[in-house]
């Protein structure tokens, strides 16, 4: 920042003066968010101002429900968070030496409804159809499913299945490279903050079992699910 002020303003300040200036401007050190270069700001603005509000009205008129869907992966040895320790003595966390991984697909609703399933390997059209059948089981009324542009979501076998439901299920694509608009992304943030990275696996413990237990706890906590719609970037989708 000291060098930036010198380059942009031609003013040389000491570190103390830079700190005081930033504090006066209410600027604090923060971890930046990632935004892809390919992101289309106009598409995002259109989604927020027109596309989603229209979808919300349609869902209300049809007596249907809007769900946001996403996928994520979990590993048994994720990066450890920071902790405290004596200077010069790095803390040691005992964890499993096994390498386990599991993928999860879930769908979240602003009213607190939550659905999820675990799977191994890559997601393809056939697998996605099986997930959709599980997701739609027992549901009444129309479902408006908001998702990203994953190739599996666009597969012909998926399109055929959706068509076979006679309008009970509709897909609506988020703007590309805009995961921050998906409330389901906060499910993964919650799980990775409070899950395995917080409490590493014990000896011979199953990652799949741990993740599935976390998913059940989320499903049983409707206030928590609704809180995923409270962040600024997804408040537009709150009920």
Residue 92 lies in a domain: yes
Do 98 and 201 have their domain in common?
Answer: yes
8 A C-beta contact, residue 38 and residue 177: yes
Q: Band the pLDDT of 202: cuts 50, 70, 90.
A: confident
Q: Where are the alpha helices (DSSP H) in 175-239?
A: 185-194, 207-219, 222-227
Which residues, 6+ apart, have CB-to-CB distance to 202 below 8 Å?
A: 96
Distance CA 214, CA 216 (A): 5
Mapped onto helix, strand or coil, the DSSP state of residue 204 is coil
Q: What residues make up the domain containing 127?
A: 40-237
Stronger pLDDT, 192 or 217, i.e. the higher one: 217
Residues 66-94 pLDDT 10s? 999 999 998 876 556 666 677 777 777 66
Number of structural domains the chain divides into: 2
Do 47 and 124 have their domain in common?
Answer: yes
> 24 - beta bridge partners?
none
The answer to which of 110-124, 131-145, 189-203 has the lowest mean pLDDT is 189-203
Question: According to the model, what pLDDT value does residue 17 have?
Answer: 73
Do 70 and 95 have their domain in common?
Answer: yes
Q: How many CA atoms lie within 13 A of 34 on its CB side?
A: 4
Do 185 and 232 have their domain in common?
Answer: yes
Stronger pLDDT, 109 or 140, i.e. the higher one: 109
The two beta strands, 143-147 and 114-119, are unpaired
Do 9 and 96 have their domain in common?
Answer: no
Do 76 and 118 have their domain in common?
Answer: yes
Do 2 and 67 have their domain in common?
Answer: no
Do 129 and 44 have their domain in common?
Answer: yes
Which residues, 6+ apart, have CB-to-CB distance to 226 below 8 Å?
A: 110, 111, 112, 238, 239
Do 117 and 203 have their domain in common?
Answer: yes
- Among left, alpha and beta (phi > 0; psi -120 to 50; other), residue 144 is beta
CA–CA distances in Å: residue 121 to residues 60, 71, 76, 116, 182: 37, 12, 15, 16, 23
Q: Band the pLDDT of 3: cuts 50, 70, 90.
A: confident
DSSP string, 85-112: --TT------------EEEEEEEE-TTS
Residues 8-58 pLDDT 10s? 777 777 878 767 766 776 766 655 545 555 668 999 999 999 999 999 999
Residue 35 lies in a domain: no
Do 16 and 90 have their domain in common?
Answer: no
- Among left, alpha and beta (phi > 0; psi -120 to 50; other), residue 194 is alpha
Mean of pLDDT values over 182-190: 94
Do 1 and 87 have their domain in common?
Answer: no
Mean of pLDDT values over 146-169: 97
Does the pLDDT of residue 168 top 70, yes or no? yes
CATH code: domain of residue 194: 3.30.420.10
Question: According to the model, what pLDDT value does residue 183 have?
Answer: 97
């Amino acid at each position: 920042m000291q060098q930036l002020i010198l380059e942009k303003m031609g003013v040389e300040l000491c570190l103390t003066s830079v700190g005081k200036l930033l504090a006066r401007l209410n600027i604090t050190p923060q971890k930046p968010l990632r935004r892809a270069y390919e992101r289309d700001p106009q598409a995002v603005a259109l989604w927020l101002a027109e596309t989603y509000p229209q979808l919300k009205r349609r869902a209300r008129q049809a007596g249907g429900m809007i769900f946001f869907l996403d996928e994520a992966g979990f590993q048994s040895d994720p990066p450890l968070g920071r902790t405290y320790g004596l200077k010069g003595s790095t803390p040691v966390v005992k964890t499993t030496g096994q390498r386990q991984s599991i993928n999860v697909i879930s769908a979240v609703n602003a009213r607190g409804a939550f659905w999820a399933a675990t799977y191994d390997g890559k997601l393809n059209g056939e697998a996605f159809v099986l997930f959709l059948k599980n997701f739609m089981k027992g549901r009444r009324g129309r479902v408006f499913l908001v998702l990203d542009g994953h190739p599996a979501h666009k597969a012909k076998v998926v399109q055929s299945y959706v068509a076979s439901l006679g309008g009970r299920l509709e897909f609506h694509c988020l703007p590309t490279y805009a995961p921050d608009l998906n409330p389901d992304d906060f499910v993964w943030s919650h799980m990775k903050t409070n899950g395995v990275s917080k409490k590493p696996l014990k000896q011979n413990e199953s990652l799949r079992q741990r993740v599935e237990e976390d998913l059940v706890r989320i499903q049983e906590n409707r206030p928590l699910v609704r809180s995923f719609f409270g962040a600024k970037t997804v408040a537009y989708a709150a009920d």
